[in-house]
Amino acid sequence: MTNDPIDWQAHRAETHHLGRLQEFLKQIVYGGNDGIVTTFAIVAGFAGASAEGAEQVGALAVLVFGLANLFADATSMGLGEFLSTRSQRDLYLSQRATELRELRESPAQERAEVVQMLTERGLSGTDAAVAADHLMKSPELVVDMMMSYELQMPDMRTATPVADGLFTFGAFIVFGGIPLVPFFLRPAADPAAIWLSVAATFTALIALGLLRWRATEERLARCVAETVAVGGTCAAVAFAVGALVGGLGG
């Protein structure tokens, strides 16, 4: 038994296996899936189009539109994630300041709320009252409880809007570029490029599912199947729209 202070960062990494992958999993999965689907929509739409002359557009058009969409949407997604995280953090800090002020101005009311929260979570009235008296000596702890239990807001004080935006942007570019790779490697008129892009897309979705499995340690089949199903559904919709528009154009 030791009374040495715990290094929480090391504890999270060693005991709970929480690292960069887990910290930015949301941004990686969100950005990666959106990148794959957005870029493959260009490929699928082209493949589904049957209008006369569509074949002559060739791989060059897929690359031009695909790359344009890839970087434009990646930038939009990255900046959107930055603004979203920053707004959430600002809202959290504003509400936390309000709770601290209420705690100073109306301690009796706040103590009553603490007692109620504790009784709702299984403590007897007597034990809750005693615990509340002790907790009220630590306003920061009480406010943390209020933010979590009363307002149901996750702690955003350590949020990193810039890093969130960069991870979203990077995942979008890395995964979203995969469906376009065959069009760099095959001749413009080669129809096999489209089917190679289909294979590359599903490979990217599987890789994203494996990354999700590695981070969460949930069931492998579920992580991969869900990721592929979501991306595959979006790809099928893009293909169907391309076929419909191409048919109308024909």
Contact 175, 208 (CB under 8 A): yes
Mean pLDDT over residues 84-101, rounded? 93
Q: Report CA-CA distances (Å) from 11 to 1, 15, 20, 158, 217.
A: 16, 6, 14, 17, 18
pLDDT for 50: 43
Q: What whole-number distance in Å separates Cα of residue 179 and Cα of residue 194?
A: 9
Segments making up each domain of the chain, as ranges: 23-44+57-244
Contact 93, 157 (CB under 8 A): yes
Which tens digits make up the pLDDT trace of 29-58? Answer: 888 888 988 888 888 777 665 444 445 556
Which tens digits make up the pLDDT trace of 208-235? Answer: 888 888 877 788 899 889 888 988 887 7
Q: Report CA-CA distances (Å) from 76 to 62, 111, 120.
A: 20, 45, 43
pLDDT for 215: 78
Global pTM value: 0.79
Mean pLDDT over residues 191-214, rounded? 86
Contact 132, 120 (CB under 8 A): no
With bands split at pLDDT 50, 70 and 90, how would you rate the model's confidence at 173? very high
pLDDT for 38: 85
pLDDT for 108: 92
Q: Is the CA virtual torsion 212, 213, 217, 221 positive or negative? A: positive
- Would you tell me the crossing angle of helices 220-249 and 25-48 to the nearest 10 degrees? 30
Highest mean pLDDT among 36-45, 129-138, 193-202, 225-234: 129-138
